[in-house]
Structures are given as C-alpha cells and as structure tokens.
Structure 1
Amino acid sequence: MKVIVAREVVEGERRVAAVPETVSRLVEAGLKVGVEPGAGLPAGHRDEDYRAAGAEVEAGVLDGGDVLLGVRPPPAERVRRLAEGAVSVSFLPVAEHLELVREFRDGGRTALAMELVPRISRAQSMDALSSQAMISGYRGAVVAAERLPRMFPLAMTAAGTVPPARVLVLGAGVAGLQAIATARRLGAVVGAYDVRAAAAEEVRSVGADFVDLDLPPLEGAGGYAREMGEERARLQRELLAPHVADADVLITTAAVPGRAAPLLVTRAMVERMRPGSVVVDLAAEQGGNVEGSRPGEEVEIGGALVWGGRDVPSQLPAQASRLYAANVAELVLLTTREARVFPDLDDEIVAGCCVTHAGEVRHGPTRELLEG
C-alpha cells in the first residue's frame, strides 16, 4: 500500500505530517511512501532527506494513493484522487468541514481525525492535541516575553533591584503548564488558575502559585473542563478581575475541541491592567478567551497589547512537525498488518477517531450534525 505525505495548502501552515524519521518507520513496516515535492521544506526537511529515508518524491504521487497523511483537512479534489477505500489521517474539525465529511462518506473512504484520538493511556503516543498544545504553550510565553517592555527575571544590580514580571496563566492543561514552565524558566513570578480540581497540584509542580477562587471544580470527560453556566462564568470573571489587573502578562489557554472557547476575560478586565501589559490569547482561533482578541492580530485594549494566536504550532514548524509526525505514524502503524493499512474498528482508539468508513459516518456527533 502507498502512503502519501501531502504538501499543506492552507496559508500559514508550515507543518508536515511526516518527517524523514517517521517515513523510515513506515517503510520498515512494509509500506511504500510517496512525498509531494517541497512538502517538508517549511519545517526544514529537504526532498533528498525523504528520499534517503526511503520515500518516493515526485509530482503526481497523490494519484491512486491508499493512505493520505496531512495536518489540515485535505481539499476535496485531493480526496477524489485517492484510491477507492483509501484512508485519510489529519486534523478534521468536522463542524467546519461537513461537505468534506460527505465527500469521504459518499466516496467510501475512511477519515481518521487526530483530534478525536481517545485520551487513554494506550493512545498517549498518538495524542496530537497534547503535542501541539505543548508547542503553543511555549510559544505563548516567548511571545509575551518578546512584547513586554520590561525584563521577566529579578535583577539585583548596583543601580538598584529590578523586580520580576508577574505572569498569570488561565487554563492549566498541556498548553498552560508549558506556558507556566517557560515563564518560570525566564524568571517571572507565575500564578495560574484552572477550573479542574487536579490543576492545583499540577500548577504547583511546575513552580507556580495556584489562584484559588474558592469555587467548586468543573470536571469534564477526557481530562477537559466541563462547560460552565453563565452565572458561574460571571462570578469567576468577577473573582479573577483583581488578579488580571495585578499581572504584567496574561496568557489564556482554555479550549475544548469542537466547541467555542470560554470567555474568561472581558474587555473591562483588560482595561484595568497597567499600561504596557501584554495579553496572549492562545484560544483566539476558537473564539477567544479574551474579549476583543483577534486571531493573527495584535490589538490595543486600554494600555495593554493583546496578541491573538493563529496557527501557533506552525510558528515553530520543526518541533511541531516532529511531534505531530510521530503521533500520526503511531496511529498508522496501529492499523497496519502485513504491510497493509486496515482500520480495525474493534480497536477503541481507531473507533474513537474514525469519522467515516465504508460509506458510513461512524462518529455520532458528526452524524447528528449532518442529519440536523
């Protein structure tokens, strides 16, 4: 069977779904690998690197491919060029791509969505959401340090003492914890808040202070926070307001796959921050945790600079690609038997991330969206 590594076509996307190391693993499993010319260049991988790993690199490799690997959802015209019964592996936010889901279904092709991989211990090596969130959290802290018009660390000099910057992180998932750790390494004093009960210990484990608002926790399925009601959200914002006002940097990371990001910080809360403060909203593409943030833009609210994240993992494409490619390879190899890829829907990992297969929509929420 032939596995195709597609060149990404979405503007700003610099990641690639396979790197030479993972190509070698697929070839060792008996699979043929074809790479579109230039697919890895934005992430620092040359065509000759893929050839050395055992891949075929030439135009037209998409035609008749059995397995298509990508980062973003593939264009419908690419899907039609694949073999009958082919498998696609990529991120696939179904609510935004229902026509593409119909294309997969009606063409009898299998679509596996990386964001739907179950959050179970056996699937940790395939958890692309976590690997990419780690990249985003690091990037968010670095962006804040670049834009804050003062140093992060404490400095004791003959001319006097320079106090450290104060950083507040909202959301202590993978992205939040990485943002905390990075800000701490840069010398900032860091506080963090999350609605989940387990978050307090996790926050303290990376050297930050946990902001306790004395509110009941909101635990959801799969390790994510449960959606909160409007009254709880209002009270939470009210209690967070003085902590936001006291911060030099605010980094927000709260997002739930398939849903709009919760509004954690209002414009009025940002306006209370000191002039020169920096706000980094890593959830801007999902609607934003901060009122007024815009994905891919920097805006001024009061005296604060608000940076809205867009394609954040793609801003560090080498490491993001390496991690994502490893996630993808693990999923592909899970479905590979005797040099052929056969999605086993009796496996809870494959069943959990399967959107379409054999002319059916297998993912319940997607099926409801199509029928609604």
Structure 2
Amino acid sequence: MFRRLKYPEKPGRKSPLQTFLQGQLPSVCVTEALQPFNTLIDVRTSEEYHQGAIPRSLNHPLFDKLERSLIGSLYRQVGKDAAIQRGTSLIAPQLEHFLGSLRPLQSKLLTIYCARGGMRSKSLTRFLKSEGFRVQQLEGGYKAYRRHVLEFLKGYRPSLIVLHGRTGVGKTLLIRSLPDSLDLEDLAQHRSSIFGAVHLQPRTQKNFEALFHSQISDKPKKQLIFVEGESRKVGRVFIPEAFAEAMKKGKKVLLKASMETRVRRILDEYHPRDEKTLLQIEEILPTLRESLGKSMVEHLRNCLVQEKFEEFIQILLEKYYDPRYEHGMKDYQYDLDLSAEDLEQTQHDLIRFHSLQS
C-alpha cells in the first residue's frame, strides 16, 4: 500500500499519502487505554521504549534510532511532507514483515502509541485498520501517559505501615509475603544498598514510576499498605515526594534478628557462589576504601577469594551497614517492636497489627 503513494506534482495539491493520513481515527484517552482488555503497541524506537514505556506494552518500532533522527531532521529542515515521504520509503520494504509480527494479535483490541500521538502511531493505526485489525490510537501518546502518571503520584499519600530494621533482618521477605504491600525494591530492581544492583537490572525513573502507578492506581484510597522503610532514593530512582511524606507519617515497626540469622538471609539472597555475582561484588569493593580503609577492603576481597562468605557478610554488617543504620534512625520512634527470627510468626503479628489500625 505505502509503496504506491507518491508526492503531489502540483503546489497546493494534497498527495495521496496526505489524503490517506487524514480523517477521523478511533482514539482513546490514557484512562481507557490502561484497561486490561487493551493490548498496547509502542511503535517508538527500542531506545525510547527501554527508557520509559507503559507497562504491558509491546515494542514494535517503526524506525530505529538513526532513521528517526533522519526523519526528524527532514521535518525541521525541509518540511512535513518530506519527512512523511521519507518515513514511508523506509518502512515500505519491511511492511509485510511488520504486519506479520502483529498478525497473532489480530483478534485483540490494539491501542497504538508513539511519543506524542503523531504520525508514527497515526499512520500505523490507519494502516492496521485498513487491514482488518481492531485498532485505536492513544491520544497524546506516551507524553500524555507520563502526565497522567505524574499527576496521580503528585497527590498519592496513602496510609502506611513502614517496616524498619537493620540490613538482613527480613524486611523484604516479609513485604513479599504480606497482603496489601508494595515492594519498592522490586519496582526499582535495586536493594537500596551499595551492593543493591548485584544480579539485577535497575529500572529507569520513568519505568519505576510507571510500575509504581500500575500497582497502586487501583487500590482503594484508604487502604492501609505495608512498605519497607527506605530513604527517598532506591538505587538510582527517587520515590515520589508525596509517597515519601506518607512514609514519614506512617506507623513504624522495628524488626530485630540475630547476627547469625541476618548473615544467613543475606547469603540466601545474594548467592555469592555464582561466578558472575562474585565478580560484581568484587568490582564494588574499591568504593568502600574511604569508609573502611584499604586494608579492610583487601581483607574482604580475600574473604571472597577464599569463599569465607559468612565472615565477609558479618564484617560488612558490623563495620559498614549497622553504623550507618544507627546514625540514620537514631531519632525514630516506633509504634511496634517485633522479633523477626521466625518470619511466619512475624507475618502473623504484622497482619494482626494491620487489622487493629484499619
């Protein structure tokens, strides 16, 4: 179809391509697009998609990064028609393959989006409609979605029960097992510590906020939620300001466990016997020289080499993590103290505490 579209020969006359791209298209707002029966198709470049995308969306890029840059330059320097024509010539040779990749989704309702609801999503929506797909365009594209998310997060201040305790006490394990909980570290894909990114792929700020929004937007506004105590920053992403304020005002629970228990839980979490994990940990160690001194860091490295993992973890807890925790939490007042030696019992106690606050 696109191969046969040519430029107009007379000034002021609309090209067949312009005619094809004009006219009404089925479109939806962000709220409608986020309904579970929609299959979201992101036609931006893979780089744009990985930087920030709507959760559950599938990336079917019309152009790669270089092609998008070329089309953008043509738009600015020559004009809209030249940019459209160039885009058409780039996608035409791969149109059948592109269409084939979407055929398995033909029975579904597709919602197409690009950066701002412009030509990329508009042209594909129209083309797929002509091919018999049930399809609609997201009004305003990803930019409209980002505005929607940020506006929601700006006013989201839920009631919270915040779990505190030293590293390894079991906070994350409890958050994962408790109903009505939000796992910030899972959303960020970072454990919020100097070794927090080991064998994880930390998310961008945009993707963190998108997943945050998708998990809490359907929760009742007055629902009491369990969350792990964090600073404003989890790895390289920031917790929304309103939510961070809610954490400060939430009910605070202090969890305690023995050194032996904490070491065992950290060992289970990090699996340091894996070669890739060991390499990542060893690469991070030099950053501790200022805090622990060169000789202590060298001793820690030797512990890794000799597979003295329990000693390695205990030194880090005693010399690095615990002093920082005590300094940061010294002024906190807690609403409840609990032993976390038996996590099943701790979970039961937390659920009972939750019911008393609701």
TM-score in terms of structure 1 length: 0.24
Higher helix share: 2
TM-score in terms of structure 2 length: 0.24
Higher strand share: 1
Larger Rg: 2
